[in-house]
Amino acid sequence: MGARNRTFAILAAIVLLGWPWLTDDKFLHHVGVLICITSIAACSLHLIIRTGHVSLCHTAFMGFGAYGSAITVMRLGLPWPAGLLVGTALAAAVAAVIGPIVLRLTGKYFVLITFLMGEVVRMAIVENASLTGGSNGIFDVPPPYPFLLSNRAYYYFALAFAVLGVGFCARLLTSEFGRAMNAIREGERLAECSGVPVIRFKVTVFVIACALAGMAGSLQAHYIRFVGPDAYSGFQSLNLVIMNVIGGMTSLAGALIGTVFMVTLPELLRGYVNIQQILFGAILFATMAFLPGGIIEAVRRVRGLFMPSKPRPAT
Amino acid sequence: MTGLLSVERLSKNFGGLQAVSDLSFEVAEAEILGIIGPNGAGKTTAVNLVSGVIQPTSGRVSLGGKDVTGHAPHALVESGLVRTFQATTVYAGETVRENLLRGAFRQIYPGLLPTLLETAAARARREQANAHVDEVMHWLDLMRVEHNIASSLPYGIQKVLGMGIGLAAEPRLILLDEPAAGLSAEETDHVRDTIREVRKRGIAVVVIDHNMRFIVDLCDRVLVMAQGRELARGKPQEVLRDPRVIEAYLGKRYAQAQH
């Protein structure tokens, strides 16, 4: 088992590090960067989902990271690491303030309130034009370092952050903390009566996840080189949720698969812009109707056909 | 006999409704106390008050001499008090072992940083918790179903597992809310024997149930509640002969006919 995991990890590393040299197509490198950045956002949202809450304002926290970082670098003239730090800390701080309040809500009430919060953030960005550039956004955000102007270079840069960010999520979920998260999702009252400080744990997860989203936001802002309010709207948050649903809500791998799927597909469907949304809707419906466990469920089922069943791992 | 749990003049008002009023009782180490009473007597409210699920309007709860009134359930677990729920509450989609490991949170969780770094202390805690879970499975006779998914187990075994989740937290006192509800006679006997087994380990038990035979067989002392108040208390056989208790359960005429 250990040896197979190691083989898989080495193979994955070769593919992830090697593929950009198989092609000079900048567009493919661009898709690679988007997948890396989005995977951090989707996997961090996955953490919140794993405590039983579907947040519809996760990209708003990417927004805090993006604006915080861009403004720090451009207005204060500080280097990018300072921007990253400010953006991440800002997202975490906001999460720490609102988390203890909103995480007491469950189910659809939490979904509704987070949707509204996302809109409030968007409005606040639009209304404070002197700081944020309003609906026009902020142009010409500098890259973190000059050599990162090439898509291929930025891919490796973003990949490093994605490996760290997603790896951290995986570590969290496989730890005893992750066991408590699962207990909270599957039986909040029961977990509380086993000694799990439920609200404190939920807030911790929320703050960690939003900090990671802030980090992704900073990476995105300095890659796209533009920040605008629409990139952080409720619609984009919904996309992150869909990535988790399509991939499979019960495993981190599902969130990764969903990310690759949802980022790549629109790029492949560029020729059919007008039917894109319809197609997305159809895929989402089909997933929920036939594969409630998401793509990862399909993978498990197929693997089950070829391999003898073994106990499901804890992640 | 020193009191482990001591409840003094506990009261709870829901709006105008006095669900529990002036309830006082003590539980000694390794004692089994039964709380019975007709429907609506306030038994479950009493358990909810003691276990911190709801806050009392007035009164005091102390555990091992420490005031724990109004503490949240997770904090009470830290002090050694756990409870089970009336409906079976297990993690339905998980194995028996995973259910029990989740119950052992207090022992197994070493803090966020140690668990992320998998320190030596974290490993030691996990090993200890695993050993304790093995032990709990032995007491409760769950070894055979260790790797079964909880929802696939018969209802009676699920109830025992629910108790096991509580015991995995190594409590000094466990509150059982209707552990025998909905069970067959045979399953009820199994639960009764299991609770005796729990007491042998030095754990005090407070048990609420409707099944009179079950309570009489099991408990050292019984507290009878009616309309939120204490009606009678004492040894099970004596309490059941008390005319006030018979009246509360069966009506005045029946009580008079007996005497």
Percent of chain B with pLDDT over 90: 61
- Chain A contact for B159, CB < 8 A? no
DSSP assignment of B58-88: EEEEEETTEE-TT--HHHHHHHTEEE--SS-
Mark yes or no for CB contact B74/A196 under 8 Å: yes
- Whole-complex ipTM: 0.89
Q: What is the DSSP letter of A138?
A: B
Average pLDDT, chain A: 90
Out of A87-91, A131-135, A306-310, pick the least confident. Answer: A306-310
* Conformational region of residue B202, where left means phi above 0, alpha means psi within -120 to 50, and beta covers everything else: left
Distance CA A70, CA A68 (A): 6
Domains defined for chain B, CATH in brackets? 3-258 (3.40.50.300)
B156-195 confidence digits (pLDDT tens): 899 999 999 999 999 999 999 999 888 899 999 999 999 9
Cα distance from A195 to chain B (closest Cα, Å)? Answer: 4
Q: How confident is the model at residue A1 (pLDDT cuts 50, 70, 90)?
A: low
User: How far does the CA of residue B82 sit from the closest CA of chain A (Å)?
Assistant: 6
Closest to B31 (Cα-Cα) out of B6, B54, B10, B51: B6
Please give the pLDDT value at position B1: 45
* Interface check B112 vs A, CB under 8 A: yes
**A148-155: average pLDDT:** 92
Per-residue CA distances from B228 to A167, B87, B160, B206, B221 (Å) = 54, 22, 29, 17, 19
Average pLDDT over all residues of chain B: 89
pLDDT on residue B259: 53
Check whether B258 has a pLDDT greater than 70: no
Span A153-167, average pLDDT: 96
Where do the H-state alpha helices sit in A76-197? 80-102, 107-127, 129-132, 151-174, 176-186, 188-192
Residue A311 pLDDT > 70, yes or no?
Answer: no
Kindly list the residues from chain B whose CB atom is less than 8 angstroms away from the CB atom of residue A196.
Answer: 74, 105
Q: Residue B255: its pLDDT value, please?
A: 62
Min Cα–Cα distance to chain B from A221, Å:
30
Name the closest residue on chain B to residue A188, using Cα atoms.
B91
- Residues of chain B with pLDDT > 70: what percent? 96
pLDDT at residue A286 tops 90 = no
Q: Which residues, in sequence order, are bridge partners of residue B222?
A: B34, B234
Q: Which two tokens stand for residue A101?
A: 């309040």
CB B82 within 8 A of CB B163: no
Asked if A171 lies within 8 A of B116 by C-beta distance, the reply is yes
The residue with tokens 């805090």 is A64
Q: What is the rounded distance in angstroms from the CA atom of residue A260 to the CA atom of residue A249?
A: 15
pLDDT at A315: 47
pLDDT band of A5, cuts 50, 70, 90:
confident
Residues of chain A above pLDDT 70, percent:
97
pLDDT score recorded for residue A314: 45
What number is the average pLDDT over the span A194-209?
96
| Angstroms from B101 CA to nearest CA on chain A | 9
The amino acid occupying position A24 is D
pLDDT at A313 exceeding the cut of 50: no
Selecting from B53, B74, B91 the residue whose C-beta is nearest the C-beta of A195 gives: B74
| Structure confidence by residue, pLDDT tens digits, A70-85 | 999 999 999 999 999 9
Residue A298 has pLDDT above 90, yes or no: no
**What average pLDDT does this structure show over A287-303?**
82
Q: In chain A, what's the furthest Cα-to-Cα distance?
A: 62
pLDDT (average), residues A96-105: 95
Work out the pLDDT band at B229, boundaries 50, 70, 90: confident
Q: What integer pLDDT is reported at residue B221 of this predicted model?
A: 94
Instruction: Name which of A259-263, A283-287, B140-144 the model is least confident about.
Output: A283-287
pLDDT of B2 reads 61
